Amino acid sequence: MRLKTLALAVFAALLTSVAATAPARAQIEVDINRGDVKPLPIAIPAFGGQQGAEIAQVITGNLERSGLFAPIPPAAHVEKTLDVNVQPRFPDWKVINAQALVNGQVTVEGGRLTVNFRLWDVYSEQQLLGLQFTSTPDNWRRVAHKISDAVYERLTGEKGYFDTRVVFVSESGDRLNRRKQLAIMDQDGANPSYLTDGSYIVMTPRFSSTSQEITYMALRPEGSSIYLFNLESGRRETLGNFPGMVFAPRFSPDGGRVAFSVERAGNTDIYVMDLRSRASNRLTSDPSIETSPSFSPDGSQIVYNSDRGGSAQLYVMSANGGGGRRISFGSGRYTTPVWSPTGEYIAFTKQTGGEFHIGIMKPDGSDERILTSSYMDEGPTWAPNGRVLMFSRETPGGAPRLWTVDVTGRIERAAPYPGSGSDPAWSPLLN
């Protein structure tokens, strides 16, 4: 599972020989905070060179799935072949209403793949970005994701989330004989692989925000265990032995602690373990069910759900434990809270009547917004930029599938993974 590295260098060869043929106007940008944002028309013709067409296709798919961009089909392109070292014929792109244009060139020499690309504002006829990436030829997909992130950030002002992976539970078989395997894939559904063999049940995998390490729960006939699994080295180890059922693990932001729940004699409480010393502390002691802990980005607080008030609601407490402060007061049951990487929101699963929802609220409980509604939506996870959520959705009689929704609730679509999956967890941006 070791990741290949990429080198990034500024592509500084700016064009200066061709004067603008149209009046300049304000540089284009996408206002992602508007709920009614209209996708930006963007043209991404095939890059020149080996695998140039495939790289352009990956970039196109990434930007289109974000819901913020509307790639123009290649069949509509007037200028079919572009040289990255020559200014585009802007009238040919204006006539098809392209507001932004991405073009590039791929070269492979001496076992190294080099990709130069440029981002253009078509109407001002100005270059907005020019970069160069180098890697090995078999790593071309990551290069495409890096370019997607660079374009997204330049046009929206926020970090991209395309050079990431998702760990999840792959499910197969019928409802009575469901096989659950720990699986991982690129965020666009490519390169899926299995991390467990399906001989035991796995649940709630979670990424560390500081390394390529995950924690998850394994359930066998003899009991449950929490594992740490390093994706780089392949090392797998248990998080100690606890009497009772252990579940719902999650890393602290610094990667040095794991919070989890322990069920013992009908009571469930939250514990936290220091991974260096392996010392654990009990954080809650109410005679109720406290579970699904999630740290705030600065590591000072934990949000969790508890039924101490009669139904599952969200509470926030100090990361050192102590009395929790309730933050959810709407009708229904609130579960699986997860703090956004930016600290702006807490996402959750909400059940009202016969429906399940994915929602978000501010950490003080204000500004609650329901983003999705269906027969069974649950288990949200944040993209590293705090703009998009992935979750699992199940229809009556069907198997769970992975879906995404943005924080406005407007951009909702099936994730690009064809199989059945649940319990997704998004990685941080890869190094």
The pLDDT tens digits of the residues spanning 45-69 come to 999 999 999 999 999 999 999 999 9
Domain boundary among the residues 122, 156, 190 is at 156
Same domain for 228 and 94: no
Residue pLDDT, tens place only, 77-121: 999 889 999 999 999 999 999 999 999 999 999 999 999 999 999
Determine the average pLDDT of the residues in 219-231: 94
pLDDT at residue number 266: 85
> Does 29 score more than 90 pLDDT?
no
How many structural domains are present in the chain?
A: 2
106 & 187 share domain = no
pLDDT attached to residue 10: 43
The answer to whether the CB of 2 falls within 8 A of the CB of 32 is no
CB distance 349 to 343 below 8 Å: no
Same domain, 312 and 409: yes
Note the pTM of the prediction, 2 decimals.
0.92
Same domain, yes or no: 136 and 77: yes
Answer yes or no: is 14 within a domain: no
pLDDT at site 34: 60
Residues 295 and 185 in one domain: yes
Q: What percent of the chain has pLDDT over 90?
A: 83
Q: Is residue 352 predicted with pLDDT exceeding 80? A: yes
Distance CA 247, CA 224 (A): 7
The model's pLDDT over 153-187, given as tens digits with 9 standing for 90+, comes to 999 999 999 999 999 999 998 777 889 999 999 99
* C-alpha to C-alpha distances, 157 to 129, 297, 356, nearest whole angstrom: 13, 21, 33
| Residue that finishes a domain, picked among 156, 172, 190 | 156
In this predicted structure, what is the pLDDT of residue 42? 98
28 vs 400: CA distance, rounded Å: 39
76 within domain boundaries: yes
- Average the pLDDT over 304-327 and give the result: 95
Q: State the Cα–Cα distance between residues 15 and 28, nearest whole angstrom.
A: 19
Indicate whether 249 and 329 sit together in one domain: yes
Asked if residue 148 has pLDDT above 70, the reply is yes
Quote the mean pLDDT of the chain.
92
pLDDT tens column, 334-346: 999 999 999 999 9
What is the pLDDT, as a whole number, of residue 15? 33
How confident is the model at residue 7, as a pLDDT? 61
